[in-house]
Amino acid sequence: MHFSPIKRKGTVVWIPDNEEVWQSAEITKNYKAGDRFLLVQLEDGTELSYPVDPAALPPLRNPDILVGENDLTALSYLHEPAVLHNLKIRFVESKLIYTYSGIILVAINPYKQLPIYGDAIIHAYSGQNMGDMDPHIFAVAEEAYKQMARNNKNQSIIVSGESGAGKTVSARYTMRYFATVSKSSSKAHVEDKVLASNPITEAVGNAKTTRNDNSSRFGKYTEISFDRSYQIIGANMRTYLLEKSRVVFQSENERNYHIFYQLCASAMQPEYAHLKLGSAEEFNYTRMGGSTVIEGVDDRANMVETQKTFALLGLKGDFQMDVFKMLAAILHLGNVEIAAVGDERSSISSEDKHLSIFCELLDLNCDKMARWLCHRKIVTTSETVIKPMTRAQAANARDALAKKIYSHLFDFIVERINQALQFPGKQHTFIGVLDIYGFETFDVNSFEQFCINYANEKLQQQFNLHVFKLEQEEYMKEDIPWTLIDFYDNQPVIDLIEAKMGILELLDEECLLPHGKDENWLQKLYNNFVNKNALFEKPRMSNTSFIIQHFADKVEYKCEGFLEKNRDTVHEVLVEILKESKFHLCANFFQDSPVSISPFSSTINIKSARPALKSPNKQLRTTVGSKVLHKPQIVKILNSYTPIDDFEKRVTPSFVRKVQGMLNNREDVPQLMLDTKHLFQVTFPFTPSPHALELIQVPSSFKLGFLTRV
């Protein structure tokens, strides 16, 4: 009788194990069709009967001669246990952290410094082909540099992985490699400036999490520019989705952004006396996680380094002190005491020390700030109503203001870094380095993890596209014999999040309702997806969470705070107060800047039949979800998004509901709808057919002229 390899006695296979994930086992008796068990012996001599499904027999183990290969594609059998075993052998036995998988470099974080990144190592890899030496981050960087120089083609390096995998450090090493091998003879020290951008962005954009002491809480794409001699002449940086909520809230054993602790550690220095700071334990925004110190990290020394790198970029003392004033003001704002006055009102004492310092640092009117942190103004066409806020609402308003100030400050610092890295003349080629936040799953996952994991789904799709789809299509095109690899396609989970009536669109719809609630939005998700979409689940023991099956893992998200974080709004009156600041930097942050209400702004002409009324929070109405959904800059860089068809196909009934939601978001809707002077007609098609037209009437104050096709 003939037995296939998987059924033959003596064959070594992998079987699942709760402790080790996979265990190696040798088949001790030939397997026949219909057998319900496979008799195997583990490496420790244990014999067991392993229940098997004839349609899914255990994966085969590679021959010992192949174990420890430096390229996973050289393995006879390429599956999960083979990959994990090979990486384990290289890491544990050979002390090697790098392994190739074709053009991809797999890195295991050793969580300690290794002596493999010095200039001598850089020069050893310079000029070598990718497979000629041991796998290394420098080999990937050299390949990108060589391809750029040889073919005059721009290159990109994408650094991805779960939180704590070592992405930030890897991106830093690639940039250092380019700076070393392409050093120019000029005295401008451009390479040093490019490298100096890293410590600054890490100070203001990185923080300690439970997974990582230096976790990037934003995405960063750095484009390094080269001249015709392939020497660095400058760089440009783009950032994505800064985790603003960290400014006002940190989970247990986590910290706020490093820069706050560096500043507090320097509080006793004479030059910072006017900031009236103390230790990090004294401020709500830095002590919340109960972990103000990182073992082995000297925040005071890091502050000196941050100042040095600012100076290296030409950002001298005055600029730095302006930045530190803004940071100190945020810390003092977090300590402002808000008292409840009954159930419906709140107040702030006129003698609140931290409010006084906040207003002093930003040169603001203290009485106005105390009043408008506890009240909001509602403007209708006929009157203006002043509405008191509860203590919880006022605290939210304070925190929203702190987040907005920090967000503006972060963008401002990145803008100034980019100005310092500008160069005269023309860029010949570039190499892009994308350091994107990794897949995250914590004990409590919220809106930030949802956005991060959505971006990682897009990244995984790009990986699939390059590694599997395109490669296999090439084989088929050239009629090369090839067994198609059945890889996981994550398009269904992307559709769940971003398609019409998907999670993000339903979130945006709920945000537009005047009394929208997290619970109502969650109920819509349950109604739309439970038992209808296999990738969406309702937890058995919770009515406040939902579960998504991502490519990497199942993640449970708590719905609390999703709407508030997605709206990302600050009350207009507070913005007006900050605009009036005598402190130029603060005032500039809040000056009007035109932000299109429409995701179609590049192709649609916005016009109205009469001058528009001023809408509350007009510059802050765009939701975070809509930025992720309609302006996916990361995705454009990766070129992994599917272009949406022409305009007609975009205007669906769900979009009409969104327009109606915008109307409902006004407290003066009845007056507006009854006042025909404020109405104008908007024509738009529901289908690609030019004959299928409907008319609706919308108040001109909503600036919905963009619905009229140009």
602 flagged as catalytic: no
290 flagged as catalytic: no
Of 62, 99, 168, 456, the catalytic one is 168
Question: Which H or E run contains 471?
Answer: helix 470-477
pLDDT of residue 378: 79
In the block, residue with structure tokens 């008191």 = 388
**Strand 37-42 with 545-549, pairing:** unpaired
425 flagged as catalytic: no
* Number of alpha carbons in the 13 Å side-chain half-sphere of residue 480: 9
Mean pLDDT by 10 residues, the chain (710 residues): 60 91 91 85 90 84 91 89 95 95 91 93 94 94 95 91 87 94 71 90 94 90 93 92 92 96 96 96 96 95 96 93 97 97 92 96 95 87 84 92 96 95 89 87 90 88 73 72 69 93 93 89 96 95 95 94 87 92 93 42 28 38 55 36 31 48 50 36 35 39 42
pLDDT of residue 661: 57
Of 432, 438, 625, 705, the catalytic one is 438
Q: Is 235 exposed, middle or buried (0-12, 13-18, 19+ CB in 10 A)?
A: buried
pLDDT of residue 479: 75
Contacts of residue 199, defined as CB under 8 A and 6 or more positions apart, other chains included, come to 305, 306, 309
Dist CA 237 CA 168 (whole Å)? 14
Which backbone phi and psi does 104 adopt, to 5 degrees? -100, 140
pLDDT of residue 699: 45
162 is in an annotated binding site: yes
- Residues 299 and 265 sit within 8 Å (Cβ to Cβ): yes
Of 174, 216, 309, 490, the catalytic one is 216
Measured from the Cβ of residue 127, the count of other Cβ atoms closer than 10 Å reads 11
- Residues 695 and 682 sit within 8 Å (Cβ to Cβ): yes
Of 215, 256, 581, 626, the catalytic one is 215
pLDDT of residue 302: 96
Of 30, 69, 126, 164, the catalytic one is 164
76 flagged as catalytic: no
Both structure tokens of 535: 């990738």
168 flagged as catalytic: yes
164 is in an annotated binding site: yes
In the block, residue with structure tokens 């990937």 = 140
- Helix, strand, or coil here: 237? strand
165 is in an annotated binding site: yes
296 is in an annotated binding site: no
pLDDT of residue 595: 36
CA-nearest of 244, 240, 627, 623 to 459 is 240
Query: Could you write out the DSSP letters of every residue in 199-230?
Result: HHHHHHHEE--SS-TTEE-SEEEEEEEE-TT-
Beta bridge pairs of residue 699 = 679
CA-nearest of 98, 47, 105, 103 to 68 is 98
Dist CA 378 CA 387 (whole Å)? 7
Dist CA 117 CA 541 (whole Å)? 49
Dist CA 194 CA 430 (whole Å)? 13
Dist CA 431 CA 141 (whole Å)? 9
305 flagged as catalytic: no
440 flagged as catalytic: yes
pLDDT of residue 623: 67
278 flagged as catalytic: no
For the full predicted model, state whether its pTM sits above 0.85.
no
Of 101, 212, 429, 446, the catalytic one is 212
Q: Is 675 exposed, middle or buried (0-12, 13-18, 19+ CB in 10 A)?
A: middle
Q: How is residue 467 annotated by DSSP?
A: I
* Number of alpha carbons in the 13 Å side-chain half-sphere of residue 580: 12
166 is in an annotated binding site: yes
